[in-house]
């Protein structure tokens, strides 16, 4: 730890690394400072060491970098949830694109199509999933690396509807036992999940709203209980290609089902997969979740076989397929362990959408599946690059690479890549 731990140090931010922190070097040591931009001349304090890395906080910007802006959120420096708010939106888009290009550089050839991120144009970034923490009747977010709660009158990272919902929730007589609240906004309504250490809500009856489904969850458990019935079915509407007469399909999303955190970003993700799979007939979807990526393909007449570890997601995917009357079946498989490859051999398009740790086992055994092409979706750039090396070692070539900004203002970026032999 530098001797100047409690003092102020002056330095220059060399670059902003994946995750959103600025990197500064001081006396042979590297310090990460949030809310900075490459080229900023700043004063800062080293605060602590987290996960083996020295971290600090910004004290003053002496000379701002080109493209630095005042954070649009008044609590951006305290909250820490949106690490890139001090950068112009074009700079944010360019930076996130560069993170992905750098990570996949060894696989990019002169024939690889790279599709850069387009900058955020709206003030509200549009995140449709949120978790607030309750503190003295107010809802807020935890500071990074801390349990302290930061309150704000408005949050530009989420949708305007969710921002308005937070204000409404704070005016309600919610149980004192509530510790946090999750909300997921879908096309026809919002799941609202009250979280407490208690098993049930003994002192609260939620209002019955046409576009709200209220739930109760005991903390640290997966099960949830509906606070009013009949339970409303909430859907994520997905636009199909124009040749389908501008048809939309609704994928039912339960309160426990995974859905991408940005509706417009998810549509971009699905639309790109639809475009890359136009000539395919048989689709295999591994790590399928509730069918977000492959049910739209099935709705265009393709045959889909999918797999996922979570039984609840598989049940939701099959229920969605049945309701939509499409040729899609999903099964429970532990894709991180040994599983039967037979149902998934010979796909025209193999979709891989693993969690953060990636799909190492599958990628290392990809030639047992004999896919004609692979579309890989990675929420972790480093894991994606590692999996990409396994695909390249197996003889696949990177045909297209598209970073997607599903979490504007933050240091997170999604990676979509197309691979062919």
Which residues are known catalytic residues?
Answer: 379
Whole-number Å distance between alpha carbons of 68 and 95: 13
Q: Do 211 and 191 contact (CB within 8 A), yes or no?
A: no
C-alpha separations of 277 from 114, 182, 194, 345 in Å: 17, 35, 40, 17
Q: How many CA atoms lie within 13 A of 222 on its CB side?
A: 8
Burial of 246: CB neighbours in 10 Å, binned 0-12, 13-18, 19+: exposed
Measured distance CA(50)–CA(36) in Å, rounded: 18
Q: Phi and psi of 328, rounded to 5°?
A: -145, 130
Smallest Cα–Cα separation from 283: which of 201, 347, 338, 228? 347
Give strand pairing partners of 215: 193, 226
For residue 73, what are the contacts with CB-CB under 8 A and spacing of at least 6? 79, 82, 85, 152, 155, 156, 157
Cβ neighbours of residue 418 under 8 Å, at least 6 residues apart? Answer: 276, 373, 374, 375, 398, 399, 400, 401
Paired tokens of 358: 């990636």
Look at residues 383, 385, 381, 390 and name the one whose alpha carbon lies nearest to residue 117: 381
| 299-to-1, 17, 252 alpha-carbon distances in Å | 57, 40, 14
């Amino acid at each position: 730890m530098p001797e100047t731990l409690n003092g102020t140090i002056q330095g220059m931010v060399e670059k902003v690394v994946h995750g959103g922190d600025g990197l500064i070097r001081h006396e042979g040591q590297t310090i990460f400072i949030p809310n900075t931009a490459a080229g900023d001349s700043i004063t800062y304090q080293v605060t602590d060491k987290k996960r083996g890395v020295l971290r600090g906080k910004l004290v003053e910007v002496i000379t701002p970098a080109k493209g630095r802006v005042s954070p649009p959120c008044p609590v951006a420096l305290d909250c820490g949830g949106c690490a890139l708010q001090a950068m112009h939106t074009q700079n944010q888009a360019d930076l996130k694109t560069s993170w992905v290009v750098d990570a996949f550089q060894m696989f990019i050839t002169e024939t690889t199509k790279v599709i850069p991120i387009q900058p955020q144009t709206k003030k509200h970034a549009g995140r449709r999933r949120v978790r607030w923490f309750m503190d003295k009747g107010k809802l807020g977010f935890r500071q990074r690396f801390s349990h302290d709660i930061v309150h704000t009158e408005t949050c530009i990272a989420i949708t305007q509807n969710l921002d308005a919902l937070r204000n409404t929730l704070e005016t309600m007589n919610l149980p004192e036992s509530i510790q946090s609240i999750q909300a997921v906004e879908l096309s026809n309504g919002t799941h609202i999940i009250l979280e407490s250490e208690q098993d049930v809500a003994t002192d609260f009856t939620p209002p019955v709203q046409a576009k709200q489904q209220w739930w109760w969850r005991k903390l640290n458990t997966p099960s949830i209980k509906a606070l009013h019935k009949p339970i409303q079915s909430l859907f994520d509407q997905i636009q199909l290609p124009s040749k389908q007469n501008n048809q939309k399909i609704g994928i039912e999303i339960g309160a426990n089902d995974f859905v991408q955190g940005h509706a417009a970003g998810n549509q971009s993700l699905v639309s790109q997969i639809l475009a890359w799979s136009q000539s395919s007939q048989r689709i295999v979807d591994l790590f399928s979740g509730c069918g977000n990526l492959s049910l739209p393909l099935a709705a265009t007449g393709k045959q889909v076989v999918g797999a996922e570890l979570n039984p609840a997601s598989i049940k939701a995917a099959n229920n969605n397929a049945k309701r939509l009357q499409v040729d899609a079946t999903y099964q429970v498989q532990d894709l991180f362990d040994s599983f039967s490859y037979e149902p998934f051999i010979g796909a025209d398009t193999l979709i891989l959408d693993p969690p953060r740790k990636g799909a190492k086992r599958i990628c290392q055994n990809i030639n047992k599946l004999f896919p004609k092409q692979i579309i890989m979706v990675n929420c972790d750039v480093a894991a994606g690059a590692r999996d990409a090396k396994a695909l390249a070692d197996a003889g696949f070539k990177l045909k297209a690479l598209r970073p997607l900004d599903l979490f504007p203002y933050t240091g997170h970026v999604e990676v979509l890549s197309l691979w062919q032999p």
